[in-house]
Amino acid sequence: MALGAVGVAMVIAIITITGQIARGQDALAAEIAGVDVPHMVKVDNPAALPDTAFFKGDGGEVTLADFRGRVVLLNFWATWCAPCIEEMPALDRLAAAVKGDDRIAVVVVNEDRNGAKVAPEWLAKQGLTALDVYVDDKQALARGMGLRGMPTTYLIGRDGTKLAYKEGVAAWDSPDFIAALKALAAAP
């Protein structure tokens, strides 16, 4: 049975789109508060996030409420996750680019068992120095967020609501994304 020209075109389009998404090169852009945010899918009904505790690398307890008043890029990762490892340098460069801007927080939450030991060692070995260490080694925050896989990244508004998300790798240090993040932080 022949597919025909339309069928062949659809198969090629599906393969192309699937490959782009798998490599994190999708053309997604969520329009949030008048700002086009590259890589992300807008949440239709922004909702409050769970107030589940996770931990700083030094063992201190934190919740997402501790970041209220700031635009937060929240990323879930693990040292055994190849796509996570691929995007960590971009997240480190993003964190360096916004360091000192109290309106923005880049929060990368490690999901490894024994993450308080594993994550800082791994980041140091890779030379990734701009990221603060956060761990969720019992996956309580990940479960509360409904995490389906890693890496997954959420954009959280100053009011603590989930605005957008990305499942998979993205170029978080791209000039367009950094500009969008800063524009969101400056928005009224």
Q: Is 148 part of any domain?
A: yes
Q: What is the pLDDT of residue 188?
A: 81
Which alpha helices (DSSP H) does 3-59 contain, by range? Answer: 4-22
Sequential pLDDT tens for the chain (188 residues): 454 544 433 433 333 333 334 444 344 556 776 677 888 988 888 888 999 999 998 889 999 999 999 999 999 999 999 999 999 999 999 999 999 999 999 999 999 999 999 999 999 999 999 999 999 989 999 999 999 999 999 999 999 999 999 999 999 999 999 999 999 999 88
User: What's the number of domains the chain is made of?
Assistant: 1
Q: Is 21 part of any domain?
A: no
Q: What is the pLDDT of residue 104?
A: 98
Residue 80's domain comprises 29-186
CATH number at residue 92: 3.40.30.10
Q: Is 24 part of any domain?
A: no
Q: Is 182 part of any domain?
A: yes
The count of other CB atoms within 10 Å of the CB of residue 110 is: 29
Q: What is the pLDDT of residue 165?
A: 94
Q: Is 20 part of any domain?
A: no
Nearest Cα to 119, choosing from 154, 91, 158, 153?
91
Q: Is 179 part of any domain?
A: yes
Q: Is 42 part of any domain?
A: yes
User: Do the beta carbons of residue 150 and residue 77 sit within 8 Å?
Assistant: yes
